Structure 1
Amino acid sequence: MSEPILSIRDLRVTFDTIDGPSEAVKGIALDVRPGETLAVVGESGSGKSQTMMAVMGLLAANGRASGTASYRGTNLIGLPKAQLNKVRGRKITMIFQEPMTSLDPLYPIGSQLIEPIMQHQGIGRAEAHARAVEMLGLVKVPEPERRMKAYPHELSGGQRQRVMIAMALANEPDILIADEPTTALDVTIQAEILELMAGLQKRLGMAMIFITHDLNVVRRIATRVAVMRHGEVVEEAPTAELFANPKAAYTRELIHAEPEGRKAPVAPSAPVVLSGQRIVVDFDLGGGFLGFGGRMFRAVDQVSVTLQQGQTIGIVGESGSGKSTLARALLRLLPSTGAIRLEGRDITGFDVAQMRPLRREVQIVMQDPFGSLSPRMNVGQIITEGLLVHEPSITSAERERRAAQAMVEVGLDPSLRNRYPHEFSGGQRQRIAIARAIILKPKVVVLDEPTSALDRQVQKQIVELLRDLQRTHGLSYLFISHDLAVVRAMADHILVMKDGKLVEEGSPDEVMDAPREAYTRRLMAAAFA
């Protein structure tokens, strides 16, 4: 057996919080060998990501690490920044869980790819540009040369994640740390990315540390698996052995966790709460003379949707298919053509001021919770922000009470409401975002990949929570996801989108078990392989 390229011993990570020190990682030991893939799995808050952030010297300002993380004989814990920068970004790179917070919104993605290539490889801008375009092509970003000029907000969530993968692999590192790298990707692109990463790993002899909650991905890509819980490694074994004979009770729970049950369809007589008829969304790509006659991109093309009270419509399709754009158009967050009605009222031409009093009726939970939560506000302030706008007359005590109630409903301890978003795991931040939406008791909630950052156990809890809230309050959901197992458990009607068009719709049984279209069959095959 080869010597470890990275050896972690007695690693501890502690955060100073308003409630006192909080130990996130409790003296763990891990080895990573050249050419292998170590999967680190566990529920949200188990310490997976913070372990690797400590190795990279990227802990938040209130965090501190002790112990050793030895890369080729050099301990990275406590290493001066100048020396650490010679390792990270070149020898060890990391793909982060939330790409929108890792990409600078002020610069085109091409610039953000080119600069680290030039710095670490010592090559000129033209050569670095060619390398960046090559990497975007490798990770299946469409029209890579044109996308070099795009800003992060102009890309879909899946495309932004692929940019991050390209950035991490461009310098051919010794170790790639991948923190939920396929979270934002649909199932067909996920399979392509995993195949791409495996191919690059084999060619480069690169080691990978794969942090994920998706055990299907672990089965396909990992050599060994380390299972973490409450900051400790509870089990470690070769992948086949761990799945065939898990020794820890917690590991067995993870393996068998899956959203269960099916949603009964709503009655045909249930009132319509939101509808869109022949919705079209076009984006101006620019390029015309004096701003006129530029290229137009049709993101949504003549799509109609009817959402009834108590209904959940699942919207599925590849990244960039128009799922999120359609939902934002229905909420009047994007300009569109076609007719939109909310509870019988025609809101097609409503401007920002006209929509403001209606916003409490239509809430949205974003795909990237960290990007939608203000880092300057504590959790209690974030959750009650909508109450200040829509119910300004209630007392601060009542706001506190309702914030505590919302946190309990989404499975968070109300005593944590004085903490800030960076002090929570990705899964916990998603629950905060859900609490912020449901505190206003809206009629419609758009859930844009609400479980993508969550491990299977927490996914199951969130699915049950959303069902309970729906039954209790008669909520209607537009549920956007690439996780078809979760969609099956949540939705009573499914829309399948491709290239902005609606290609198929029907009940979950119709769409998933007997799809009519070749594209839908391909999606299902990739999801349930």
Structure 2
Amino acid sequence: MTDNKQTILAVRDLKVDFTTPDGTVNAVKGIDLDIRTGETLAVVGESGSGKSQTMMAIMGLLAKNGGVRGSATYRGQELVGLAPDQLNKVRGAKVTMIFQEPMTSLDPLYKIGRQIAEPILYHRGGSRAEARARVLELLELVGIPEPERRIDSYPHELSGGQRQRVMIAMALANEPDILIADEPTTALDVTIQAQILALLRSLQRRFGMAIVLITHDLGIVRHFAERVVVMRRGELVEQGATQEIFERPQSDYTKMLLAAEPHGRKAPPPETAPVILEGRNVVVDFQIGGGLFSGGKRYFRGVDGVTLRLHEGQTIGVVGESGSGKSTLGRALLRLIHSEGIYRFGSTDISRLDRKQMRPLRKEMQLVFQDPYGSLSPRQTVGEVITEGLMVHEPGLSRADRDRRAMAALEEVGLDPAARNRYPHEFSGGQRQRIAIARAIILKPRVVILDEPTSALDRSVQGQVIDLLRTLQQSHKLSYIFISHDLSVVRAISDYLVVMKDGKIVEQGDTQDIFDAPQDAYTKALIGAAFSI
């Protein structure tokens, strides 16, 4: 039991402040926590709760405008205020950290072998040959295939899961006491998530290290952590054994987080509902190579002979791992990329329509992206963003009419209409996603394709967005194609499920039937990985 484990990192009255043009922001407001030998401690809470900043402060990695007060002692040594040369003897050797997005943490200009070797050479010394041998050992340990070849690869040549394994190898290079993992699986497919978590668990047993898991995914916490710390607005609101927290939460906030797991089931549309969007024998090929120095043209088949029919009022969930072709299929159905096949929108054959001929139909076929911040112009106010489509599709509207429509759309997605005069960067991730949805529904479409619209959001915000999408669907008789790798979200929102692998549909049918009794081995693996983490 954890009671018999020794405290190796003790945090007392830790405060983190950031100096901004608008004043001081108190990100962490005096928290206490202990990390014990060999345990897995999960730190949970919504975005902005202070969970990542707490660990960054302990590691001495705050931004320049950040300051830390209080105490964090590692085996009796105070880390807060420690000189950088002394702190470097601890971080990277005794306490290490892996981050959510390895592509931004790995230097694109250097081979992975060199990057893993750096902490080895810094903390252990020795020759480059000895460091290279240790790197090969680590790559094999974390399950990188063909380590002798991959050691000389650049980060962009690896998959997302492989890059995360490289980060783990780097963190484990000096066999630390504590590994801090900040959202290490959020951007990964469920099968890769399960592999990474299984890898961390096995490495923890091997090295006897403590793991601090920062996450908003309570499914992972339930199966992976021994203790849980719940944070909100920079304060620690509850902590305890995982089973105790999940079965008998004391804080209202903890109860809200647990209740925010996607739930509910969507009823299918009536059998008489007409087909609103159809793609038959859809094929999408991408050219690879064929440049000045790359030899002849070669092609990669992203979608391979897929047929899909979306009925009025239906929500089709499309799932599969990265590279399965699900996003490519969505864009092909909207005729946004070159593809082969037969396409119909309602009673109209749109297979051979060019861009100009498709324009009148665009208002009825809308797309919502995964990252609203990347798809919302930072130079436009929210009102301008939302009404941009109206200027194209309803040019006869006056400025006052457009403004009224923007106010109504914002109100419908649960935002203050006065927000139309602010800019996207002034909103949270969940609010920006609501703005993206408002931009789509203001045109009164019949079909909306949603491409990973909730993957970057906290569970509580995911639940709010799902409820919003359900309400809008009923109000406007919308039909959705919901593309995601989050099976719990897909199960809650869709009535029909399509499973894709390598550009093909391997299984499809009623959502609940597939979750209850999947037939294809790949579907079984996806569902097993999602609900046994």
TM-score over 0.5 (shorter chain): yes
Q: How does 1:93-172 map to 2 (within 5 A)?
A: 93-98=96-101, 107=108, 111=110, 113-122=112-121, 124=128, 131=135, 135=139, 138=142, 159-160=159-160, 162-172=162-172
1:221 maps to which residue? 224
Q: 2:34 aligned with 1:31, yes or no?
A: yes
Relative to structure 2, which stretch is displaced further, 515-524 or 428-437? Answer: 428-437
Q: Is the 8 A contact 2:142 2:165 kept in 1?
A: no
Q: CA deviation at 1:206?
A: 2.8
Residues 133, 340 of structure 1: CA spacing in aligned structure 2 closer, same or farther, 3 A cutoff?
A: farther
Q: 2:313 aligned with 1:313, yes or no?
A: no
1:200 maps to which residue? 203
Residues 89, 113 of structure 1: CA spacing in aligned structure 2 closer, same or farther, 3 A cutoff?
A: farther
Q: d(CA) in 1 for partners of 2:145 and 2:355? A: 33
2:283 to 280, 283, 288: 280
Encode CA deviations 1:161-203: one digit per residue, 9 max, x unaligned: 5523422432415433323322233333322221111112222
Q: Is the 8 A contact 2:171 2:179 kept in 1?
A: no
Q: CA deviation at 1:225?
A: 0.3
Equivalent AA in structure 2 for residue 193 of structure 1: I
Q: 2:502 aligned with 1:499, yes or no?
A: yes
Q: d(CA) in 1 for partners of 2:154 and 2:443? A: 36
Q: Is the 8 A contact 1:16 1:63 kept in 2?
A: yes
SS in 2 for 1:261: coil
SS in 1 for 2:381: helix
Q: Alpha carbon RMSD of aligned pairs, Å?
A: 4.2
TM-score with structure 2 length normalisation? 0.80
Q: d(CA) in 1 for partners of 2:251 and 2:531? A: 26
Runs of 5+ unmatched residues, structure 1 = none
SS in 2 for 1:478: strand
Q: How does 1:333-344 map to 2 (within 5 A)?
A: 333-344=336-347
Q: CA deviation at 1:508?
A: 1.4
Q: CA deviation at 1:39?
A: 0.5
1:40 maps to which residue? 43
Q: Is the 8 A contact 2:136 2:151 kept in 1?
A: no
SS in 2 for 1:465: helix
Q: CA deviation at 1:265?
A: 1.6
Equivalent AA in structure 1 for residue 163 of structure 2: V
1:191 maps to which residue? 194
Equivalent AA in structure 2 for residue 167 of structure 1: M
Q: Is the 8 A contact 1:50 1:59 kept in 2?
A: yes
**Which of 1 and 2 has greater Rg?**
2
Q: Is the 8 A contact 1:46 1:231 kept in 2?
A: yes
Q: CA deviation at 1:320?
A: 3.0
Q: Is the 8 A contact 2:60 2:80 kept in 1?
A: yes
Q: Report the number of matched residues.
A: 518
Encode CA deviations 1:293-321: one digit per residue, 9 max, x unaligned: 46543332111112233221101223332
2:240 maps to which residue? 237
Q: Is the 8 A contact 2:386 2:438 kept in 1?
A: no
1:381 maps to which residue? 381
Relative to structure 2, which stretch is displaced further, 291-300 or 470-479? Answer: 291-300
SS in 2 for 1:306: strand
SS in 1 for 2:185: coil
Encode CA deviations 1:281-338: one digit per residue, 9 max, x unaligned: 3344449995444654333211111223322110122333222232233334443332
Residues 100, 278 of structure 1: CA spacing in aligned structure 2 closer, same or farther, 3 A cutoff?
A: farther
Q: How does 1:450-469 map to 2 (within 5 A)?
A: 450-469=453-472
1:474 maps to which residue? 477
Residues 146, 426 of structure 1: CA spacing in aligned structure 2 closer, same or farther, 3 A cutoff?
A: farther
Q: CA deviation at 1:230?
A: 2.7
Q: CA deviation at 1:491?
A: 0.8
Q: Is the 8 A contact 2:311 2:479 kept in 1?
A: yes
1:298 maps to which residue? 301
Q: Is the 8 A contact 2:376 2:385 kept in 1?
A: no
Runs of 5+ unmatched residues, structure 2 = 122-126
Q: Is the 8 A contact 1:46 1:232 kept in 2?
A: yes
1:265 to 246, 257, 268: 268
Q: d(CA) in 1 for partners of 2:80 and 2:425? A: 21
Q: CA deviation at 1:38?
A: 1.0
Encode CA deviations 1:131-174: one digit per residue, 9 max, x unaligned: 4897499467899958986875x98xxx4255234224324154
Q: Is the 8 A contact 1:503 1:517 kept in 2?
A: yes
SS in 2 for 1:391: helix
Q: d(CA) in 1 for partners of 2:354 and 2:138? A: 42
Q: Is the 8 A contact 2:320 2:326 kept in 1?
A: yes
Q: d(CA) in 2 for partners of 1:7 and 1:458? A: 32
Q: CA deviation at 1:467?
A: 0.4
Q: d(CA) in 1 for partners of 2:477 and 2:264? A: 19
Q: Is the 8 A contact 1:45 1:427 kept in 2?
A: no
Q: Is the 8 A contact 1:177 1:208 kept in 2?
A: yes
2:451 maps to which residue? 448
Relative to structure 2, which stretch is displaced further, 41-50 or 233-242? Answer: 41-50
Q: Is the 8 A contact 1:175 1:206 kept in 2?
A: yes
Q: Is the 8 A contact 1:448 1:480 kept in 2?
A: yes
1:523 maps to which residue? 526
Q: Is the 8 A contact 1:383 1:432 kept in 2?
A: no
Q: d(CA) in 2 for partners of 1:11 and 1:387? A: 46
Identity over aligned pairs, percent: 57
Q: d(CA) in 2 for partners of 1:85 and 1:333? A: 50
Equivalent AA in structure 1 for residue 116 of structure 2: I
Q: Is the 8 A contact 2:390 2:402 kept in 1?
A: no
Q: d(CA) in 2 for partners of 1:20 and 1:9? A: 25
1:391 maps to which residue? 391
Q: Is the 8 A contact 1:284 1:295 kept in 2?
A: yes
Equivalent AA in structure 2 for residue 121 of structure 1: I
Encode CA deviations 1:89-146: one digit per residue, 9 max, x unaligned: 5654444445666567xx47xx463453232223759975994897499467899958
Q: Is the 8 A contact 2:288 2:298 kept in 1?
A: yes
Residues 77, 361 of structure 1: CA spacing in aligned structure 2 closer, same or farther, 3 A cutoff?
A: farther
